[in-house]
Structure 1
């Protein structure tokens, strides 16, 4: 993972490349715009090319911080960059004295569910019909996406 750079960004610093990656993970610009101002945003670059995004947002429960978005560009997937971003999220959460790291993903997001559990997350609960509020129908792994699975990791 040489020549990697993780940079903290403000909302005003985000460009089209950043939004393209963010929208791959969360295809609702309205939802992104709602949580980005209260979030800590990181861009992962390799050789000056943005290849990943990580967005962390404190939860209502003060001991928890949520990974709102984690995204790696298609050309760099399954090469350990997602795991690297998870490690950075955990490091940030510990540094800021959070007790739990939380992440939500689609019930049809099989690869992500595997990766998060491999990283130590445990399933916590399901938000039924969460993805029905999106303007467009979401299909993942040839299945219509309805529910969000929430996972937590004790730090």
Structure 2
């Protein structure tokens, strides 16, 4: 697997980005302002992540996704570790990520990779998304914020 920054002339893999964030409007906005990285195997994009600078020396991982038929193979963890290394190499001191209260697997992965819970944005998904989101049989209501010092 090769992970690389998306080239200027390339379109971001929107279908893949929408697996992690169902709002095309939100995805288009942060992809324009951030840096998009893709994971490829045999010239096929199988994963993606987006880093968005938010404050001095702080970057947020605003999207990370793996094609559904490749779940459970450690690709998400490799992407996450690559995002952490990329942030470090660019001089950031903190990397942040937010995920839904219903994203049980993602919450576990982030914590296994060194992130700590720093806060909760109550009703974030109720206020900012027109459709109800359910995951793991749980309504996604709150944004759980995590961060890691680099």
Please state how far the C-alpha of 1:10 moved relative to its aligned partner: 4.9
Give the alignment's TM-score, normalised by structure 1: 0.92
The TM-score normalised by the length of structure 2 is 0.94
Q: Which 4+ stretches in 1 moved above 3 angstroms?
A: none
> Could you tell me whether the CA contact under 8 Å between 1:56 and 1:67 is conserved in 2?
yes
- 1:40 to 2:26 alignment: no
- The answer for the alignment partner of 2:3 in structure 1 is 6
Is the Cα contact below 8 Å between 1:65 and 1:101 reproduced in 2? yes
Following superposition, the deviation at residue 5 of structure 1 comes to 1.8
Pairing of 1:27-106 with structure 2 (within 5 A): 27-59=22-54, 61-106=55-100
RMSD: 1.2
Report the counterpart of residue 119 of structure 1 in structure 2: 113
For each residue in 1:5-59, what CA deviation from the matched residue of structure 2 results, as whole angstroms up to 9, or x when unmatched? 22211575225xx111100001101111111111010111112211101100001
Cα distance in 2 for partners of 1:10, 1:136 equals 33
Counterpart of 2:132 (choices 129, 134, 137) is 137
SS in 2 for 1:13: coil
Aligned length: 149
- Where does structure 2 lack aligned partners over 5 or more consecutive residues? none
Query: What SS does the aligned partner of 2:131 have?
Result: coil
